[in-house]
């Protein structure tokens, strides 16, 4: 009986997440490193600065830590994510096309 209840909870949770995704809402925190910050990091790294030297010059613009500096680990995560998108641009394009198709399907009357 407990297993059935657990499965019901799981299904309703997944259903709720799917509904929210269709509305354009996704869970999780907003990224601390904005596109502008990432651009600054990339530019300064190209000039030979290390992430540790760049980090004090960056300020988080919104959220709980507004006005503080992002962590060095956060900067490295943003750089790694950026490298993934640069290494596999076809995967990013495919994901965007799939998402657009899903949105179109959800908008069409049934």
How far apart are the C-alpha atoms of 2 and 9, rounded to whole Å?
A: 11
How far apart are the C-alpha atoms of 40 and 71, rounded to whole Å?
A: 15
> Domain residues of the chain, as ranges?
31-107
pLDDT tens for the chain, residues 1 to 110: 899 999 999 999 999 988 888 888 877 777 889 999 999 999 999 999 999 999 999 999 988 889 999 999 999 999 998 998 887 777 778 888 888 888 787 776 65
How far apart are the C-alpha atoms of 51 and 69, rounded to whole Å?
A: 12
Model-level pTM greater than 0.75?
no
How far apart are the C-alpha atoms of 14 and 31, rounded to whole Å?
A: 23
């Amino acid at each position: 009986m407990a297993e059935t209840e657990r499965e019901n909870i799981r299904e309703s949770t997944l259903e709720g997440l799917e509904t929210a995704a269709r509305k354009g809402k996704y869970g999780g925190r907003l990224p601390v490193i904005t596109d502008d910050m990432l651009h600054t990091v990339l530019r300064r790294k190209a000039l030979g600065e290390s992430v540790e030297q760049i980090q004090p010059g960056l300020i988080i613009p919104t959220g709980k830590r507004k006005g503080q500096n992002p962590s060095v680990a956060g900067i490295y995560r943003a750089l790694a994510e950026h490298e993934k998108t640069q290494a596999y641009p076809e995967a990013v394009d495919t994901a965007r096309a799939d998402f657009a198709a899903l949105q179109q399907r959800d908008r069409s009357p049934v």
